[in-house]
């Protein structure tokens, strides 16, 4: 049985909505993007949602509206995708990379406290696999030190922290709609916030810095006249992506339930396997289950993580690793002098992590096959 790592969940609902857009005569950013923003904001329960062509673009413009400057520092976890750090370098500012907690893989609170300097302007907590970070503690640190909190919620649709939905907590929250994400449109992103001025500025900056509603200039009733207000970016999404987003948003809770079911079944299956450490979800929060990451108990196995992945592949199951910590990449090592010794928890996690397939279209047989194969390999290679 061939089990890919991910398959987007595309049904006739998505196809019909895209065909409707194609037939409408308006395929770039337009009325469906505006509707997608409105429906997303309503779902999250926040005043503003601004759509982008990627989650990275959302993060970039979040840092732009807080006026990040070259001398500033921004604290980020090492266990993340490079996008979290890369956007800081767009300003010639400094990403300050810190360690994470071994249970949730989320940014460590003591590590944030230790990394704060007079130059710190913001912190970007990354809700790993969809599980919210310790937001009360992070908000408190931010208040005490006058920092902005920009949440990297690329994995967290939907997720809850003490019954508050992710997207309503920090200063700006950035979602990704990349193909493997809980809401997938191919490439896309969204920023949510309460600040009206920031939302207006992001809408201008995402389309070359030209006046508000510039997308309408070729529409019936729109005006050819526009003004460039500042240097912006080509970060707008299109109505084709928005069509996919609208169709998926309608079933986002159902898609979540499907991932919850799979996670529950994996955890049950692995509960009595001493060679495995299953994901920990803290009792006061709910994860989106974008990823299901097992950790190998290497002390109880005669096989390492890479070979385990190879064995899974021999059985036609594709897995992945989230993430190669930033401090291990040549760029971050060379430019910021990162040393693995400063990230013992992330190193420990990285050595033993494997992300298993988890997506709504998985059949029961596929879930069972993945679980049975993992358990079989644990038995075969037990020490």
Q: Does 178 bind ligand PLP (CB under 6 A)?
A: yes
Minimum separation from the CB atom of position 176 to ligand PLP (A): 3
Contacts of the segment 173-177: beta carbons below 8 A, 24+ positions apart: 173/46, 174/55, 174/58, 174/59, 174/62, 174/150, 175/55, 175/58, 176/54, 176/55, 176/56, 176/58, 177/55, 177/241, 177/245
Minimum separation from the CB atom of position 299 to ligand PLP (A): 29
Q: Does 97 bind ligand PLP (CB under 6 A)?
A: no
Q: Outline where the chain has alpha helix (H).
A: 12-24, 31-44, 55-65, 82-89, 109-115, 135-145, 196-205, 239-249, 252-270, 305-314, 330-336, 344-352, 364-380
- Complex with ligand PLP: residue 265 or 290, whichever CB lies closer: 290
3-class SS of residue 161: strand
CA-to-CA distance for 260 and 253, rounded, in angstroms?
10
CA-to-CA distance for 303 and 378, rounded, in angstroms?
9
Please give the residue whose beta carbon sits closest to ligand PLP in the complex: 55
CA-to-CA distance for 349 and 325, rounded, in angstroms?
9
Which residue among 97, 98, 122, 154 contacts ligand PLP (CB under 6 A)? 154
- Complex with ligand PLP: residue 61 or 377, whichever CB lies closer: 61
Which residue among 98, 126, 159, 193 contacts ligand PLP (CB under 6 A)? 126
Part of the chain binding ligand PLP (CB under 6 A), chosen from 78-86, 157-165, 238-246, 339-347? 78-86
Minimum separation from the CB atom of position 265 to ligand PLP (A): 24
Part of the chain binding ligand PLP (CB under 6 A), chosen from 7-15, 76-84, 95-103, 273-281? 76-84
Which residue among 77, 189, 245, 279 contacts ligand PLP (CB under 6 A)? 189
Binning the chain into helix, strand and coil, the percentages to the nearest 5 are 45, 15, 40
Active-site positions read: 181
Q: Does 173 bind ligand PLP (CB under 6 A)?
A: no
Q: Does 131 bind ligand PLP (CB under 6 A)?
A: no
The answer to whether 377 and 305 have CB atoms below 8 angstroms apart is no
Which residue among 14, 49, 55, 96 contacts ligand PLP (CB under 6 A)? 55
User: Contact residues for ligand PLP (CB under 6 A)?
Assistant: 54-56, 80-81, 83-84, 126, 152, 154, 176, 178, 189
């Amino acid at each position: 049985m061939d089990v890919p790592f991910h398959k987007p969940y595309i049904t006739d609902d998505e196809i019909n909505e895209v065909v409707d857009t194609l037939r409408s005569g308006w395929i770039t950013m337009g009325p469906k993007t505006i509707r997608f923003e409105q429906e997303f904001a309503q779902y999250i329960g926040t005043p503003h949602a601004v759509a982008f062509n990627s989650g990275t673009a959302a993060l970039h413009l979040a840092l732009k509206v807080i006026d990040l400057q070259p001398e500033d520092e921004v604290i980020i976890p090492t266990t993340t995708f490079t996008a979290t750090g890369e956007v800081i370098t767009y300003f010639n500012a400094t990403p300050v990379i810190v360690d994470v907690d071994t249970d949730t893989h989320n940014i460590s609170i003591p590590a944030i406290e230790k990394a704060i300097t007079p130059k710190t302007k913001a912190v970007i907590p990354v809700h790993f696999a969809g599980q919210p970070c310790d937001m009360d503690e992070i908000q408190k640190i931010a208040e005490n030190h006058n920092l902005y909190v920009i949440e990297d919620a690329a994995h967290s649709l939907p997720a809850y922290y003490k019954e508050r939905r992710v997207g309503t907590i920090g200063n700006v929250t950035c979602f990704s709609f990349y193909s493997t994400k809980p809401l997938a449109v191919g490439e896309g992103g969204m920023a949510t916030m309460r600040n009206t001025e920031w939302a207006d500025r992001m809408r201008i900056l995402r389309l070359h810095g030209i006046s508000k509603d510039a997308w309408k200039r070729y529409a019936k009733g729109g005006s050819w006249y526009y003004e460039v207000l500042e240097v912006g970016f080509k970060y707008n999404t299109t109505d084709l992506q928005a069509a996919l987003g609208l169709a998926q948003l309608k079933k986002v809770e159902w898609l979540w339930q499907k991932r919850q079911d799979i996670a529950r079944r994996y955890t049950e299956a692995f509960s009595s396997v001493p060679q495995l450490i299953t994901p920990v979800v803290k009792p006061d929060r709910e994860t989106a289950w974008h990823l299901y990451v097992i950790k190998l108990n290497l002390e109880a196995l005669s096989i390492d993580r890479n070979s385990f992945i190879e064995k899974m592949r021999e059985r036609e199951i594709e897995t992945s690793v989230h993430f190669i910590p930033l401090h291990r990449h040549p760029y971050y090592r060379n430019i910021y002098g990162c040393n693995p010794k400063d990230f013992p928890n992330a190193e420990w996690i990285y050595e033993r992590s494997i992300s298993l397939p988890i997506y709504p279209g998985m059949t029961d047989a596929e879930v069972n096959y993945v679980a049975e194969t993992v358990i079989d390999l644990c038995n075969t290679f037990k020490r």
